Amino acid sequence: MFFLRKRGPIIRKRSEHCISRANIDEDALKVLYRLSTEGHISYLVGGSVRDLLLGRQPKDFDVGTDARPNEIRKIFRNCFLIGRRFRLAHIIFGKKVIETSTFRCQPQESETTNGLYQAEDNTFGTPEEDSQRRDFTVNGLFYDIKTFSVIDYVGGLKDLDKKTLRCIGDPNIRFQEDPVRMMRAVKFAARLDFTIDRASRKAILKHHSEILKASAPRVCEEVYRLFTYNKSSEAFHLLWELTLLKDLLPELDKHIHTAGGKHALLWKILQSLDSDPSSECASNGLRTACLYYTVFLEQLKHEGAHAGHNKMNLPHASRNALSSIAERLKIPKMTFFTAATILDLQRRFDELPTKGSRRFAHFVRHPDFLEALALYRIVQTAQGHDLSKALAWEAFFNEEWDAAHRHIDEEKINPESPEAVDPEAVFTVVAEDAPAKKPSSNTRRRSKRRGPPRKEHASDHAPHTGHSEAPHSPSLPVHEHETKRSHHE
Q: Which residues are catalytic?
A: 60, 62, 135
CB of 464 to ligand ATP, least distance (A): 10
List the interface residues with Mg ion, window 57-86 (CB under 5 A).
Answer: 60
Contact 207, 176 (CB under 8 A): yes
User: Over the Cα atoms of the chain, what is R_g?
Assistant: 26
Among 59, 206, 407, 446, binds ligand ATP (CB under 6 A): 59
Q: Draw the binding track, 126-165, toward ligand ATP (x: CB under 6 A; -: no contact).
A: --------xx---xx-------------------------
60 or 135: whose CB is closer to Mg ion?
60
Q: Which stretch binds ligand ATP (CB under 6 A): 54-62, 232-240, 320-328, 477-485?
A: 54-62
Nearest to 346 by CA among 284, 440, 433: 433
Tell whether residue 234 is a contact of Mg ion (CB under 5 A). no
Q: Draw the binding track, 71-110, toward ligand ATP (x: CB under 6 A; -: no contact).
A: ----------------------------------------
Q: Which stretch binds Mg ion (CB under 5 A): 21-29, 47-55, 299-307, 353-361?
A: 47-55
Give residue 188's identity as a one-letter amino acid code: F
Nearest to 366 by CA among 387, 337, 326, 333: 337
Contact 194, 165 (CB under 8 A): yes
Which residue's Cβ lies closest to ligand ATP? 47
341 interface partner picked from ligand ATP, Mg ion, none, CB below 5 to 8 A per type: none
Q: How far is CA 314 from the centre of its chain?
A: 28
Contact 288, 378 (CB under 8 A): no
167 or 374: whose CB is closer to ligand ATP?
167
What residues are paired with 96 via a beta bridge? 93
Tell whether residue 178 is a contact of ligand ATP (CB under 6 A). yes
Give the C-alpha distances (Å, rounded to integers) separating 464 from 200, 428, 461, 484.
28, 30, 9, 39
Integer Cα distance of 374 and 231 in angstroms: 17
Tell whether residue 44 is a contact of ligand ATP (CB under 6 A). no
Total site size for ligand ATP, rule CB under 6 A: 12
What residues are paired with 461 via a beta bridge? none
State whether residue 381 is helix, strand or coil: helix
Among 47, 156, 353, 477, binds ligand ATP (CB under 6 A): 47
Contacts with 234 (C-beta within 8 Å, 6 or more apart), sequence order = 189, 190, 193
Task: State phi, psi for 432 to the nearest 5 degrees.
Answer: -65, -30
9 or 367: whose CB is closer to ligand ATP?
9
CB of 47 to Mg ion, least distance (A): 4
Strands 62-65 and 96-102: parallel
Q: Which stretch binds ligand ATP (CB under 6 A): 102-110, 173-181, 386-394, 432-440?
A: 173-181
CB of 307 to ligand ATP, least distance (A): 45
47 or 69: whose CB is closer to Mg ion?
47
Nearest to 175 by CA among 197, 141, 205, 153: 205
CB of 83 to ligand ATP, least distance (A): 14
Q: Which stretch binds ligand ATP (CB under 6 A): 57-65, 354-362, 363-371, 393-401?
A: 57-65
**For the packed helices 369-382 and 388-413, what is the interaxial angle rounded to 10 degrees?**
160
Among 12, 31, 47, 118, binds Mg ion (CB under 5 A): 47
Q: Draw the binding track, 332-371, toward ligand ATP (x: CB under 6 A; -: no contact).
A: ----------------------------------------
Length of the chain: 489
47 or 367: whose CB is closer to Mg ion?
47
128 or 135: whose CB is closer to ligand ATP?
135
200 or 381: whose CB is closer to ligand ATP?
200
DSSP string, 280-313: GG--HHHHHHHHHHHHHHHHHHHHHHHHTTSPP-
DSSP string, 429-458: ---TTS-SSS--HHHHHHHHSSSPPPPP-G
364 or 462: whose CB is closer to ligand ATP?
462
134 interface partner picked from Mg ion, ligand ATP, none, CB below 5 to 8 A per type: ligand ATP
Q: Please give, one letter per residue, the 3-state secondary structure of 396-434.
A: HHHHHHHHHHHHHHHHHHCCCCCCCCCHHHCCCCCCCCC
Among 40, 62, 314, 457, binds ligand ATP (CB under 6 A): 62
Give the C-alpha distances (Å, rounded to integers) separating 163 from 156, 193, 380.
10, 7, 34
Integer Cα distance of 297 and 387 in angstroms: 20
Write out the residues near Mg ion by the rule CB under 5 A.
Answer: 47, 60
Write out the residues near ligand ATP by the rule CB under 6 A.
Answer: 46-47, 59-60, 62, 134-135, 139-140, 178, 180-181
